[in-house]
Amino acid sequence: MKKLHVVFIILAVLVMALPAATMPLFANAVNTEKRELSKLPAVIQEDGTFNQRFSVEMNTWIQEHIGFRNLMVTANSRLRTGLFGQGATDDIVVGRDGWLFYYESVDDFLHVATITERNAANAAHTAAMFQRYAGSQGSRFLLAFLPNKNSVYGRYMPYYYVPRGTEGNRELFLKALAAEGVSYVDVKPALEAVNRQLYQKQDSHWTYEGALIGYRTVMSASGMSYNYYAGLTFTEKRDWPADLAVYLYGEGAEPDVQAYPDHTFVYGYASRAAAVDSLTLETYSGGKGGSLVMYRDSFANTMQAYLAENFGKALFSRTLPYQADLIAKQQADLTILQVTERSLASYVFRAPQMPAPQTELEGEARPVSASRVSMDREDAGLYTHLYGTVDETLLGDTYRVFLLVGDTASPQAYEAFPIYEKELLGPAAAEDNGWSLYLPKELLADAPALTLCVESGGERYLCPLGK
């Protein structure tokens, strides 16, 4: 009996030591998590001092690189979802009938506004300025608003998530777009009208069939002629590496079903990059006319093929901030700005890289202290990016900001985007009180005097900024 105890102890120690002992074998294991894992910490730092956090960092590194980690992550996730209907990570919501959802979309589903009405108004005015710029380049403009998966298939969310009867981000933004006269299309009603599954159960995106509905809806709203792909059929295959399943279950994730179009696309690539998720992708389609610029995210991966085949040349950009000069370079007949519901809270905090429109200001303005506003700047290629904040006491429900360049007798006025650059300024109590604009560097080459003009609530204020 004593020998059995010794054997059991030895086996237990070996089993517990196995993951650590096999770590070198997993040095090149695939990281299925949507984050960068830690690097092996150094005892001595670059400045020659002892790394006082070495033990903590080493513990984290071991946890993230231990042998069989992916297998253990998968087993843990399967056990928790099977027994408790709950994922092993807070980033994923395990819904009914095997449906998975991003947790970041829960507030949208519940109609909990995470942006303010002024955020929505600012973002809508920014879109209106972008629309006017596209028009000045001879291009039609359309903002395509794409819904979250659970906004269309909310019936598969867990029962304890009950939407409120209030306005969420979606409602605030669409209402603001209408008030600003922005040409936009909400794709949600078209998807809800189709009695078929158009999103994948374990992926955050729509299928190729859902993308076709989106494509038809967007092109119809654009007012341009397009290939309807009438009668197009689809073949289902269980071979899609679903992003939510991979995130939750790691290497143990099973492929999801994808509906592939029974159609051979004939467009080609004008860019060196050909991957569907490239930052910039250029295509051409022989015998077709018209040109397109589309500012997009991953939701357009399955929609690109339909658009690429429909236009003689098309450019799809995932670069942030949006590069407005692509419209002129492409001589775009149509400019599509795609905004996905779940990314709206990020969209309202970033201005496009576009030359600030020059304007004329008339009327009197009241001087106020420079301390009521802030200004920072950064290099942006051919432009200088100026951005900052306005004191809350100067602002009403909406506001406009203009930068006056030159002496006070005859300055040039440029309209700024009413955007709080959160990535540059950082979190703050008020994040709907910002301004942002891009000016060609030559305008600031001689260090002219700069003055900020703020319009709000029927009042106009002048704030000197220096040079």
Q: What is the pLDDT of residues 344-397, one digit of tens each?
A: 999 999 999 999 999 999 888 899 998 999 999 999 999 999 999 999 999 999
Q: Which CATH architecture has domain 358-466?
A: Sandwich (2.60)
Q: Where are the domains of the chain?
A: 2-67, 100-347, 358-466
Q: What's at 200, amino acid-wise?
A: Q
Mean pLDDT across the stretch 286-295? 94
Pairing between strand 140-146 and 334-340?
A: parallel
Going by pLDDT thresholds of 50, 70 and 90, the confidence category of residue 403 is: very high
Report how far residue 353's alpha carbon sits from residue 100's, in angstroms, rounded to the nearest whole number: 35
Answer for the pair 387, 434: CB distance below 8 angstroms, yes or no.
yes
Going by pLDDT thresholds of 50, 70 and 90, the confidence category of residue 75 is: very low
Confidence at residue 41, expressed as pLDDT on a 0 to 100 scale:
75
The predicted-structure confidence for 314-328, as pLDDT tens digits, reads as follows 999 999 999 999 999
Identify the three-state secondary structure at position 71.
Answer: helix
User: Residue 266: which residues within 8 A CB-CB, separation 6 or more?
Assistant: 285, 286, 309
Query: Between the CA atoms of 197, 201, 207 and 212, what dihedral angle is there, to the nearest 10 degrees?
Result: 30
Confidence at residue 466, expressed as pLDDT on a 0 to 100 scale:
76
The predicted-structure confidence for 1-52, as pLDDT tens digits, reads as follows 566 655 556 665 554 544 545 545 444 555 555 556 677 777 677 677 767 6
Continuous H helices in 299-403 = 304-310, 325-330, 344-347
- Taking 3-state DSSP, the helix, strand and coil percentages for the chain, each rounded to the nearest 5, stand at 35, 25, 40
Pairing between strand 376-380 and 313-317?
A: unpaired
Answer for the pair 242, 200: CB distance below 8 angstroms, yes or no.
yes
- The Cβ-side half-sphere exposure at 363, using a 13 Å CA radius, reads 11
Alpha carbon distances (Å) from 250 to 61, 97, 201? 18, 20, 16
For residue 137, give both structure tokens: 């380049």
Confidence at residue 19, expressed as pLDDT on a 0 to 100 scale:
53
Give the angle 254-258-260 at the CA atoms, nearest 5°.
150
Helix or strand (DSSP H, E) at 84: helix 69-84
* Region for 247 from its dihedrals, namely left if φ exceeds 0, alpha if ψ lies in -120 to 50, beta otherwise: alpha
Q: In which residue are the tokens 């008030």 written?
A: 179
User: Residue 354: which residues within 8 A CB-CB, separation 6 or more?
Assistant: 129, 130, 133, 322, 324, 325, 438
Least confident range from 236-240, 245-249, 350-354, 386-390: namely: 245-249
Asked if the model's pLDDT at residue 255 lies above 80, the reply is yes
For residue 143, give both structure tokens: 């903002």
Percent of the chain with pLDDT over 90: 75
Report how far residue 35's alpha carbon sits from residue 33's, in angstroms, rounded to the nearest whole number: 6
Confidence at residue 334, expressed as pLDDT on a 0 to 100 scale:
98
Identify the three-state secondary structure at position 283.
Answer: strand
pTM of the model: 0.83
Maximal C-alpha separation, the chain = 100
Report how far residue 333's alpha carbon sits from residue 335's, in angstroms, rounded to the nearest whole number: 7
Q: In which residue are the tokens 């209030």 written?
A: 166
Helix or strand (DSSP H, E) at 56: helix 54-65
Report how far residue 438's alpha carbon sits from residue 150's, in angstroms, rounded to the nearest whole number: 37
Asked if the model's pLDDT at residue 183 lies above 80, the reply is yes
Confidence at residue 236, expressed as pLDDT on a 0 to 100 scale:
97
- Phi and psi angles of residue 357, each rounded to the nearest 5 degrees, phi first: -70, 135
